[in-house]
Amino acid sequence: MQTPREILGNLWTLADGEKAALDAVTLTGDEPQLPSSFRVGAAAQASIAAAGLAAALVWKLRSGEDQKVAVDMRHAVVECRSERYLGVEGTPPPAVWDAIAGVYETRDHRFVRLHTNFPHHRDAVCRVLGCKAERDEVQAASMQWDAEALETTAYAAGGVVAMMRSHDEWSALPQAKALAALTVIEIEKIGDAAPKPWPVGDRPLAGLRVLDLSRVIAGPVAGRTLAVHGADVLLISGADLPAIPWLTIDTGRGKLSAFLDLKRDEGRRKLKELLAQADIFSQGYRPRALASLGFSPEDAARISPGIVYVSLSAYGHVGPWAERRGFDSLMQTATGFNHAEGQAAGIDGPKELPAQILDHVTGYLMAFGAMMAKARQSREGGSWHVHVSLAQTGRWIWNLGRLADGLKTEDLKGEAIKPFAGETQSGFGRLRAIRHAAELSKTPAFWARPAMPLGSHPPEWPERP
């Protein structure tokens, strides 16, 4: 198997990084760090290190100054579970999942996973099943369905359900075959533009403006990572959009947060104004969803020549499932992770990975791609499009290999987490939260802005120095 350094090296060269830059990186810690047969520690460390090294590259382009980057594997996996360790005024996180979210057996003796944390997704699946939102009723109703039929029907009705597949079953699907030709991250030039000068600033991303149109974990983690290196990240949400409060707090560190109603002309006009002054546009809508509102990658390149446009999807931007909604837990179920982990544990059924690792790693890869594309823009000009998806990340993690005795590893306890946590004030009260795992020797990573409730700020960019 590749070492974490070799994994990082492959990511770096994939994004057109110079190999010599890798000499500045120190990776510490050993696998496994969490109980899993998959290499979650290596994936966490390599993706966070890639983003950290990209920030160091940007700093060198801006200042001419080299610096060292260090990432400890334990710190990396802890940050990839940051939502578990958040505390507000001494209160730990509430229950993660909705009451009926989780795994159910079906008539054909298969398993499905329901994601019902958003009320409209819960209502949709209950309409399909014809039952109340109670676990016993959902299980009884699920036994009237074959797993694949329930998955397909629920998606068509606006729900999010995944059938548990083995990796071989997933690999045989047209969607998996469509993804097989893709790399874990893709960076392409989508338009002509002059190189944009770097703004004044004393941090790698200081003065850079990032529009963040994302929710839940992966996209918000990307924005949080850009903010930790100094970017002005403006999270755009809607007052009527559902959110998961605890995740909003954890991933909102370092960001401004404003409401816009993109269904209205005024909201779209304002977003266009913000985009015209932005450097990076990071979004987690389903493929083509923003295009219908006038904010496709090509639209963005016309509105803001030189933009770096980052697209996150669940199942990838190509293939018959490109439009499907998806979350980390569903991807683990649909693509073979839960089946394989269950087999490794001797369980007759699905077993989850010990973190929402597809989400978190994808978030760091988004930030990595955004910075590498921005570096290319500064040298070559052009507008750029970065593609990532949970499914592409999953395929990448799967191909890192397996740890024979990984599930025998003891899970991390409270004392092991303490070195990586810190306290800070926020718009929610005193936070205990996980610090960023990438340590840069000249421009330390930190969040200059506190986490604030959604919609706390006007939809305006702060003044540049």
Other C-beta atoms lying within 10 Å of the C-beta of residue 462: 12
Cβ atoms of residues 212 and 256 within 8 Å:
no
Instruction: Report the C-alpha gap between 382 and 189 in whole angstroms.
Output: 6
Percent of the chain with pLDDT over 90: 91
The predicted pLDDT at position 45 comes to: 98
The predicted pLDDT at position 163 comes to: 97
Region 418-436 average pLDDT:
96
Radius of gyration of the chain (CA): 21
For strands 232-237 and 255-259, give the pairing: parallel
Confidence of residue 325 (pLDDT cuts 50, 70, 90): confident
The predicted pLDDT at position 244 comes to: 86
At CA 203, angle to CA 198 and CA 205, rounded to 5? Answer: 50
Other C-beta atoms lying within 10 Å of the C-beta of residue 127: 13
Confidence of residue 97 (pLDDT cuts 50, 70, 90): confident
Model confidence over 164-208: pLDDT tens digits? 999 999 999 999 999 999 999 999 999 999 999 999 999 999 999
The predicted pLDDT at position 100 comes to: 93
Beta-carbon contacts of 68 under 8 Å, excluding residues fewer than 6 positions away, are 24, 25, 26, 440, 441
The predicted pLDDT at position 77 comes to: 98
Confidence of residue 341 (pLDDT cuts 50, 70, 90): very high
Confidence of residue 281 (pLDDT cuts 50, 70, 90): very high
Region 217-245 average pLDDT:
95
Percent of the chain with pLDDT over 70: 100
- Which of helix, strand or coil describes residue 229? coil
25, 141, 267, 292, 403 from 271: Cα distances, Å: 38, 43, 6, 14, 46
The predicted pLDDT at position 95 comes to: 79
The predicted pLDDT at position 285 comes to: 87
Dihedral, CA atoms, 85, 89, 92, 98, nearest 10 degrees? Answer: -110
Instruction: Report the C-alpha gap between 210 and 368 in whole angstroms.
Output: 14
Other C-beta atoms lying within 10 Å of the C-beta of residue 130: 9
Supply the pTM of this predicted model.
0.96
Buried b (16+ CB within 10 A) or exposed e, 15-39: bebeeebbebbebebebbbbbbbbb
Q: Is 286's pLDDT higher than 80?
A: no
Confidence of residue 242 (pLDDT cuts 50, 70, 90): confident
Residues paired with 439 in a beta bridge: 70
At the topology level, CATH places domain 4-94+179-318+354-440 in Rossmann fold (3.40.50)
Instruction: Report the C-alpha gap between 129 and 182 in whole angstroms.
Output: 36
Sheet containing 87-88, strands listed edge to edge, beginning at the edge strand earlier in sequence: 87-88, 431-434, 421-424
Confidence of residue 419 (pLDDT cuts 50, 70, 90): very high
Average pLDDT, the chain: 95
Instruction: Report the C-alpha gap between 207 and 464 in whole angstroms.
Output: 6
Region 397-426 average pLDDT:
95
Other C-beta atoms lying within 10 Å of the C-beta of residue 461: 15
The predicted pLDDT at position 435 comes to: 98
Instruction: Report the C-alpha gap between 374 and 390 in whole angstroms.
Output: 22
Which tokens sit at 198?
A: 């770097």
Confidence of residue 277 (pLDDT cuts 50, 70, 90): very high
Model confidence over 35-87: pLDDT tens digits? 999 999 999 999 999 999 999 999 999 999 999 999 999 999 999 999 999 99
**Higher pLDDT residue, 245 or 308?**
308
